[in-house]
Structure 1
Amino acid sequence: MGSGVSREQQWQQDTTNLPSFYSPRSRPVRDDEADTRASVVDRDALSLSGAAQPAGSTTTSTSSSNAVQPPPPSLLSPAFTPPATPGIATPSSEQPRGVPVDSSIPSGGCGTKRPRLLETLPAIQCIVRARIPTVTGTEMFLHLYKNNVDNKEHLAIVFGPHIRSKSLDAPREGETEMDRMVRGAYTGRLYPGRTKSGMISGGSDDTGETSAARSPPLVRIHSECYTGETAWSARCDCGEQLDEAARLMSLPSNASSGGIIVYLRQEGRGIGLGEKLKAYNLQDLGSDTVEANLLLRHPADARSYGLATAMLLDLGQREIRLLTNNPEKIRAVEGPNREIRVTERVAMVPLGWKGKGGFTSREVEGYLKTKIEKMGHMLDMATIPR
């Protein structure tokens, strides 16, 4: 090059001062490594898990100078690529640990705030249920709900075949056995040629199983976050939290009790995606997440959890273990008359704080700090990476 600066030197200069949450730009490929790099990219470029090559791989070179290098990180994603899918992030032997809580007493571990509750729970109905296999072998059942308070389709992601929806299983006038199977009101597994749903006339399953002897399921109340779950945003840890909740509910130790992720379509803490993007611009101008919402004339947190309570009751749950750092969510999900009782709070600790993957960024550190200082979330400030 006429300037005396090689392509690789220029690449190093361009990427030296990038913020930590940016993926580095792709390093230029040297002429002497073009052939070997091509074979690696063909096989590995589409991998989502970042798993190491299996033992016995023969793609290594005998010459250290011509050693095969892994493909550079994607320009479109930060350090993690959601969805991670259950079972990938951390070892499956890890057990979720929680602390007992009791919202009926001031010292019950549920904070001092009293969230505003609906006087009556919404009317909800599960419309359809379908089995969702994942790439790691875990299976879940996706339940779609409609309600009488908004026009949104809220979801329950259920781990464990014993957790069933009363409104889905209830017989409906004029329907056939095929109708029941198509909307997911069946027992066991579907297979080609099956003609019976396996449901008895009363609407309950025919397995004879009872939930009385099981421990309360692990439950996560998760609000939709398009930017964090789909657009790889490093402004929040919502995508990581969703993946981690699914991983914990997929652990073998959790198989008997099961798990439920109630996925509520209340983007941006209830203000919607458009207003949330405006709040992002205000954050770039110096506001924190709470201040940005208030400047847009929205509450700091406009979410409601009455739908979650109604959905959990429909799924037959009266006692749950709640996966959350937000003490207000404990009282809110229990309902106006404590229709549901939260017996245990399981902390949602960011993976980066535990040294088990995850990601860090300037934005997400400020986001978590605001949650702790202004919203009362129960996280140890001393563990925030510096």
Structure 2
Amino acid sequence: MPSPETSSAEGARGVSNQQRREETTDLPSFYSPRSRPNREPEPGIATHIDHDDDDELSLSSLSLSPKPTITSNTTEDASRPPPPSLLSPAFTPPATPGIATPTPPAEQQPRGVPVDSSVPSGGCGSKRPKLLETLPEVQCIVRARIPTVSGTEMFLHLYTNNVDNKEHLAIVFGPHIRSKSLDAPREGETEMDRMVRGAYTGRLYPGRTRSGMLSGSSSAEEEEAIPSPNGPPLVRIHSECYTGETAWSARCDCGEQLDEAARLMSLPSAVNGGIVIYLRQEGRGIGLGEKLKAYNLQDLGSDTVEANLLLRHPADARSYGLATAMLLDLGQTEVRLLTNNPDKIRAVEGPNREVRVTERVAMVPLSWKGKGGFRSREVEGYLKTKIEKMGHMLDMGGIPR
């Protein structure tokens, strides 16, 4: 028969446990159990602590014994998984450019397939896109250095043009790629004006007074050693996709493609640099509102092409004259194009092949390469439609998918 003292202790512990359960019932699932003080054992005494089902200290689990020799198992501690994230595992925020997947230091640039749009068998698709008679006029109005969390630096160029009121962007990797319209001197501007809009050489630093662009204005500390390229840069023509890049949509792979393009262009082996031309033509040119209507039609059974047609839009309403003009402003007449759409090659080259695409580099989904990425029923159907109805060539090591 238990003593009154024992019954009293067990009753107090039961009340304590009940109170704790009541206090923590409404706490979010990610709250950790209450912490306890870490009491150091007395010399020569080892304290063995077990936990009961309620994660409370059991009075009967405390025993006193001579202190044994303690061996630290640091390997086991290091192998323990970190505490669970506050976010659900199913929730994956957009990746930061350049860190879509860990980058091995020795990773080489992706292989490209030589293409030639001047011959029918040149690997540039069967369609002949409608091209503008003359290229738009573009001007880079500001450039700024963007350091990324991966350690890579890029330069963001903002462009205006004479065909729409949108601000299109060029994300440039590599210090040797510069904008002609940005670097051109402007009437009445000062050296500070030039540096503020990004027309400078080297790096900016507190107290700098000269841009290094005008004759006699450079100094030794403002110069930088720029490696000479040995071939055309890797270029991605990327159309804006708010849902895939910002709203974590699994209906398309646009966000993953943008991240992967930035990662490839920031590899140490990318000595020729890289350019992402970011065009503000949401929803393959139909706009965000119509794109969301197309999503509802997809939920009703249409694929991505059928949905656009039901809304009385072309399957693809994009144009690439602005991209061609921006590449020319950046001094590029030959590029390696990162795309799965062979018909985009001729469209990017311009009406008179002002820019020549020498190679097409496949954009392979990360999940197909076993390097992360994501899979969903929607994105698999989306890729299937692009292959079957839009002529996209998604391959894995030369094997068509």
Q: TM-score, normalised by structure 2?
A: 0.77
1:109 matched to which residue of 2? 123
Equivalent of 1:91 in 64, 81, 103? 103
Instruction: Write the letter of the residue equivalent to 1:82.
Output: P
1:355 matched to which residue of 2? 370
1:82 matched to which residue of 2? 94
Which string of whole-angstrom CA distances, capped at 9 and with x for unpartnered residues, describes residues 241-265 of structure 1?
000000000011102x100000000
- Describe the SS at the equivalent of 2:203: coil
Instruction: Write the letter of the residue equivalent to 2:130.
Output: R
- Describe the SS at the equivalent of 1:365: helix
Structure 1 residues 60 and 29: alpha-carbon distance in aligned structure 2, compared to 1, 3 A threshold: farther
Aligned 1:211-360 pairs, distance under 5 A: 214-255=230-271, 257-360=272-375
Q: Is the 8 A contact 1:78 1:232 kept in 2?
A: no
Q: Is the 8 A contact 2:212 2:218 kept in 1?
A: no
Aligned length: 335
Which string of whole-angstrom CA distances, capped at 9 and with x for unpartnered residues, describes residues 307-352 of structure 1?
0000000000000000000011100000000000000111000000
1:372 matched to which residue of 2? 387
Equivalent of 1:171 in 185, 188, 193? 185
Q: Distance in 2 between matches of 1:147 and 1:338?
A: 20
Q: Is the 8 A contact 2:367 2:373 kept in 1?
A: yes
Q: Distance in 2 between matches of 1:301 and 1:134?
A: 32
Q: Is the 8 A contact 2:168 2:280 kept in 1?
A: yes
1:189 matched to which residue of 2? 203
Aligned 1:11-22 pairs, distance under 5 A: none
Q: Distance in 2 between matches of 1:272 and 1:71?
A: 39
Percent of aligned pairs with the same amino acid: 78
2:44 matched to which residue of 1? none
Question: 1:58: Cα distance to partner?
Answer: 7.8
Is the radius of gyration larger for structure 1 or structure 2? 2
Aligned 1:147-158 pairs, distance under 5 A: 147-158=161-172
Instruction: Write the letter of the residue equivalent to 2:96.
Output: A
Q: Distance in 1 between matches of 2:348 and 2:218?
A: 25
- Describe the SS at the equivalent of 1:252: coil
- Describe the SS at the equivalent of 2:359: strand
Instruction: Write the letter of the residue equivalent to 1:155.
Output: L
Q: Distance in 1 between matches of 2:81 and 2:90?
A: 23
Q: Is the 8 A contact 2:236 2:339 kept in 1?
A: yes
Equivalent of 1:71 in 75, 84, 90? 84
2:66 matched to which residue of 1? none
Q: Is the 8 A contact 2:297 2:307 kept in 1?
A: yes
Unpaired stretches in structure 1, ≥5 consecutive residues: 1-25, 37-55
- Describe the SS at the equivalent of 1:317: coil
Instruction: Write the letter of the residue equivalent to 1:314.
Output: D
Question: 1:266: Cα distance to partner?
Answer: 0.3
Q: Is the 8 A contact 2:321 2:350 kept in 1?
A: yes
Q: Is the 8 A contact 1:171 1:202 kept in 2?
A: no
Instruction: Write the letter of the residue equivalent to 2:284.
Output: R
Structure 1 residues 270 and 35: alpha-carbon distance in aligned structure 2, compared to 1, 3 A threshold: farther
Question: 1:112: Cα distance to partner?
Answer: 0.9
Check if 1:134 corresponds to 2:148. Answer: yes
Runs of 4+ in 1 over 2 A off after TM superposition: 26-31, 33-36, 56-62, 67-70, 72-75, 77-81, 90-95, 200-214, 380-384
Aligned 1:43-54 pairs, distance under 5 A: none
Instruction: Write the letter of the residue equivalent to 2:114.
Output: P
Q: Distance in 2 between matches of 1:108 and 1:223?
A: 25
When structure 1 is superposed on structure 2, of 84-93 and 336-345 the one drifting more is: 84-93
Question: 1:189: Cα distance to partner?
Answer: 0.2
Question: 1:204: Cα distance to partner?
Answer: 12
Structure 1 residues 207 and 28: alpha-carbon distance in aligned structure 2, compared to 1, 3 A threshold: closer
Q: Is the 8 A contact 2:158 2:167 kept in 1?
A: yes
Q: Is the 8 A contact 1:154 1:265 kept in 2?
A: yes
- Describe the SS at the equivalent of 1:244: helix
1:199 matched to which residue of 2? 213
Question: 1:84: Cα distance to partner?
Answer: 3.3
Q: Is the 8 A contact 1:117 1:332 kept in 2?
A: yes
Instruction: Write the letter of the residue equivalent to 1:250.
Output: S
> What is the aligned-residue RMSD (CA, Å)?
3.3
Structure 1 residues 282 and 88: alpha-carbon distance in aligned structure 2, compared to 1, 3 A threshold: closer
Which string of whole-angstrom CA distances, capped at 9 and with x for unpartnered residues, describes residues 143-195 of structure 1?
00000000000000000011000000000011000000000000000000100
Instruction: Write the letter of the residue equivalent to 1:81.
Output: P
Question: 1:214: Cα distance to partner?
Answer: 2.6
- Describe the SS at the equivalent of 1:81: coil
Structure 1 residues 203 and 266: alpha-carbon distance in aligned structure 2, compared to 1, 3 A threshold: farther
Q: Distance in 1 between matches of 2:152 and 2:208?
A: 24
Q: Distance in 2 between matches of 1:88 and 1:358?
A: 8
2:13 matched to which residue of 1? none
- Describe the SS at the equivalent of 2:269: helix
